[in-house]
Structure 1
Amino acid sequence: MQDWTRDNDRLVTELEPNEAAVVRGLVGEIKDMLTARADQAPQDELAELTGMRAGPSTPPEESVLARLLPDFIRPERDSFEPEAESADTAGALRSLHEPELIEHKSGVAATVLDTCPERGGKVSLTEEQAESWLSALNDVRLALGTALGVSEEVPDEPPEDQLQREHYYVYQWLTWVQESLIQALSS
């Protein structure tokens, strides 16, 4: 992949076929996870009448999805409320806001899938599409980082396990792609 560059009002790069496959595959996996989570939303007659959506009131059990859809408040940090009330508030906030968050994350993923050529080649984005790419790439990096246990304390050396090592290199490559796109947007 080449660095992202600005061509008038477009941001452009070239993706090799394997690079396009990685981006499309990982973004597609995130979109599928979010769709599965949205399908867990309770069916509410009032929501159907009013158009107000409600999502699950409990956080996802899977660590990757929990990282992508964090609590809107943290009961242990917001000690102004008793623990039970704080948990109720967190559940209510999640139920109200998670559908919008899933819709946004799914939307940016769809933009990447629509603008990333299946077999590689030139990618040409508007600034709005580039912002979607940044958001979707960030979600993929959060998911990979969670799965790999990446933290500030983790050294720059990849893990010893071969499969984790390959995923770690993908994580680093996506970091570079994201940084390159940010620089192009800033220029």
Structure 2
Amino acid sequence: MSGHFEALPDGGAAVLLDEVEISILRSLAVQLLELIGPGDAPAQGEDPLAALFAEGPSEPPADPALARLFPNAYSDEDEELRAASAEFRRFTELDLRSRKREDALAVVRSLDGLTVEERGAGEAGATLRLSGEDSRRWLGALNDLRLTIGARLEVADEDESEDLYRLPDSDPRKPMVMAYLWLGALQETLVETLMGR
């Protein structure tokens, strides 16, 4: 099971993670939460029902990573499509941000709930067991993390990600590239596990 997800009989998934992997995943999820932002909670005394009908932004984010997480619904080839994208964003982005926050929080909470044990040879780790619902949340968060890192690495298509394998160790992007590739492998095995049902 080490390094890849496997199916559990109850419909969930499990993966063996070492202490360093747990720390990296938690740190990345927390950074994702910071990037997405805290969300808009109703002000004290404000009607919580009114908050459900709050409108979001109509302009795409300026940060390339956020723009990848919250893309335009339509191309911006002409004025009509730009207006349709703005309208769509205004009514959907707040919910999308909330879901992405919940996915990242699920990752942090499940990692915080692990009990790390010695595995021999000075290595420590834990087996992460996820329910079916948590598996879907993890899948969303892994995807969001890869999109964010891919934006920071300026990866635009699959051909460019192949070039990442050939970066020399001296390249300052190498740690980010290794995280991007590792997250991709985790995501792939989790997808295979969930589709195997």
TM-score grouping bracket, smaller chain normalisation: 0.7 to 0.9
Map of 1:116 onto structure 2? 111
1:157 to 165, 171, 178: 165
The CA deviation at 1:17 is 1.0
Map of 1:100 onto structure 2? 95
Map of 1:42 onto structure 2? none
1:58 maps to a residue whose letter is E
Contact 1:6 1:184 in 2 (8 A): yes
Contact 1:158 1:169 in 2 (8 A): no
The CA deviation at 1:183 is 2.1
1:74 maps to a residue whose letter is S
The CA deviation at 1:50 is 6.8
The 3 A distance-change label for structure 1 pair 13 and 49 is closer
Q: Which runs of 5+ in 2 are unaligned?
A: 41-45, 117-124
Map of 1:75 onto structure 2? 76
2:179 to 167, 170, 176: 170
- When normalised by structure 2's length, the TM-score is 0.78
Q: Which runs of 5+ in 1 are unaligned?
A: 40-44
Quote the RMSD (CA, aligned, Å).
Answer: 2.4
Deviations 1:140-166 (Å, cap 9, x if unpaired)? 001111111223232253434533011
The CA deviation at 1:177 is 0.8
Contact 1:15 1:122 in 2 (8 A): yes
The CA deviation at 1:18 is 0.8
Contact 1:108 1:133 in 2 (8 A): yes
Instruction: Provide the rounded CA distance (Å) in 1 between the counterparts of 2:21 and 2:66.
Output: 24
The CA deviation at 1:19 is 0.3
Map of 1:89 onto structure 2? 84
The 3 A distance-change label for structure 1 pair 137 and 49 is closer
The 3 A distance-change label for structure 1 pair 47 and 149 is same
2:23 to 21, 24, 33: 21
The CA deviation at 1:48 is 7.0
For residue 121 of structure 1, give the secondary structure of its aligned residue in structure 2: strand
1:149 maps to a residue whose letter is E
Count of equivalent residues: 175
The 3 A distance-change label for structure 1 pair 170 and 54 is same
- When normalised by structure 1's length, the TM-score is 0.82
The percent of aligned pairs where both chains have the same amino acid is 27
For residue 16 of structure 2, give the secondary structure of its aligned residue in structure 1: strand
Contact 2:68 2:151 in 1 (8 A): yes
1:93 maps to a residue whose letter is F
For residue 188 of structure 2, give the secondary structure of its aligned residue in structure 1: helix
Instruction: Provide the rounded CA distance (Å) in 1 between the counterparts of 2:8 and 2:81.
Output: 50
1:26 maps to a residue whose letter is L
Deviations 1:44-91 (Å, cap 9, x if unpaired)? x99974730211111110100110010122221xx5xxx1x4333322
Contact 1:68 1:142 in 2 (8 A): yes
Instruction: Provide the rounded CA distance (Å) in 1 between the counterparts of 2:187 and 2:51.
Output: 39
